[in-house]
Amino acid sequence: MTTNQMDMPTPDGDTPQELAPDMQADDDVTADGDAEAGSAIAPITDETRRAVEAIILVSEYPVPAELLAQLCEVSIAQIDQICAELSDFYAETERGFILAQVAGGYRFQSHVDQAPYVERYVLEGQSSRLSAAALETLAIIAYKQPISRAQVAAIRGVGVDAVIRTLDQRKYIAEIARDPGPGQAALFGTTSLFLDKMGLASLADLPPLRDFMPGAEVVEALEHGLRVSDTDVTDTELVDTELADTELADTDVVDTGGEPIGEPETTPGRHPGQPDGIVIDLTGRRVDPAGQASTVVPDEPVAAAAGDEATDD
């Protein structure tokens, strides 16, 4: 092409030199579009779905979406979409398991409708269970965390050292902070294993405590019952006290003419055990009712000694 041809105008009136920048801009736009198409997110394939299922199946703990995305080389949004589709598919086909999102990840778990059969299977092995005290302590920590050991003990009213040690050994709780106050007591909180066992995605999924609180009518009835019980106990104590006092007063009276029980009455100067009509004066002499002195009555030890001498003779 000659110089004159290059300067020749086009049918639109533009010279080739004027069109060159526009053509170059169009080429740049096309190249950018191809680059964007090449870097676009890859579509979800059946192979990716199978890989997600396999990884979740062999994992002992819930698998985070970030890890699944890294292993399958897809985005986190695609992983969430795949898991949602799989969960809907399992629900529509009425499988005995579900794909649940718990403890910040995905895992397979048995369907709630199959709980009786799963429980029967688990009870065959008779796995160790938490005691009522351990469950109570775990609930307090779950709702009040971070919380110290002394605070848990104050709520329960008993020592919790052994229970907290057991929960810590089973990895249900862990030390998560230190109290800035004096002594810097250890503060405990629940772990991801706790969320895993409870089937919770986060602590926000814990049922609110107000659902377990009794209504105002129930609280009023309980308070009224306590007040009635206190009144009954007071009345019973009064009745028992009156009966006890009556029994103590009756012990001084016998059923023989109403005479009080006590030391037998004796005539002044009469020796106990002597027949009526015989009186012993201060010198030990026996005196008849007429006041005439008689023989001296020896004391019992003297009389016993005299009897022994007579026997020896």
Domain 46-121 and domain 130-209 have a common topology:
yes
CB 61 within 8 A of CB 100: no
**CATH topology assigned to domain 130-209:** Arc Repressor Mutant, subunit A (1.10.10)
φ/ψ (deg, to 5) at 16: -60, -35
pLDDT at 151 exceeding the cut of 70: yes
Note the pLDDT of residue 36: 44
Per-residue b/e over 155-180, b at no fewer than 16 CB within 10 Å? eeeeebeebbebbeebebbeeeeeee
What pLDDT digit, counting tens, does each position of 84-111 carry? 999 999 999 999 999 999 988 999 999 9
Q: Which helix (H) or strand (E) holds 294?
A: strand 293-296
CA distance to 7, 201, 220, 278, per residue, from 192 (Å): 77, 9, 40, 102
Provide the pairing of β-strand 285-287 with 279-280: antiparallel
Note the pLDDT of residue 186: 92
Q: Whole-angstrom Cα distance, residue 67 to residue 88?
A: 22
Note the pLDDT of residue 25: 46
Note the pLDDT of residue 154: 92
Note the pLDDT of residue 29: 43
CB 131 within 8 A of CB 91: no
pTM of the model: 0.42
What pLDDT digit, counting tens, does each position of 268-292 carry? 555 555 555 555 555 556 655 555 5
- 7 DSSP assignment: T
Instruction: Enumerate long-range contacts of 52-59, CB under 8 Å, 24 or more apart.
Output: 52/79, 52/82, 52/83, 52/86, 53/86, 56/99, 56/106, 56/107, 56/108, 57/108, 59/107
Span 67-79, average pLDDT: 93
What pLDDT digit, counting tens, does each position of 121-149 carry? 877 655 567 889 999 999 999 999 999 99
Could you tell me how many helices (H) and strands (E) the chain has, helices first?
A: 12, 8
pLDDT at 262 exceeding the cut of 60: no
Note the pLDDT of residue 90: 93
> What class is the 46-121 domain?
mainly alpha
Q: Whole-angstrom Cα distance, residue 97 to residue 100?
A: 9
* Paired strand residues for 63: 106
Q: Whole-angstrom Cα distance, residue 143 to residue 125?
A: 31
Q: Which helix (H) or strand (E) holds 286?
A: strand 285-287
Tokens linked to 119: 């429980």
Domains of the chain, residue spans: 3-38, 46-121, 130-209, 214-262, 263-306
Q: Whole-angstrom Cα distance, residue 61 to residue 192?
A: 9
10 Å CB burial of residue 309 (0-12, 13-18, 19+) is: exposed
Q: Whole-angstrom Cα distance, residue 109 to residue 96?
A: 9
What pLDDT digit, counting tens, does each position of 216-234 carry? 888 788 787 777 655 554 5
Pick from 214, 213, 146, 218: nearest CA to 186: 146
- pLDDT, the chain, mean: 73
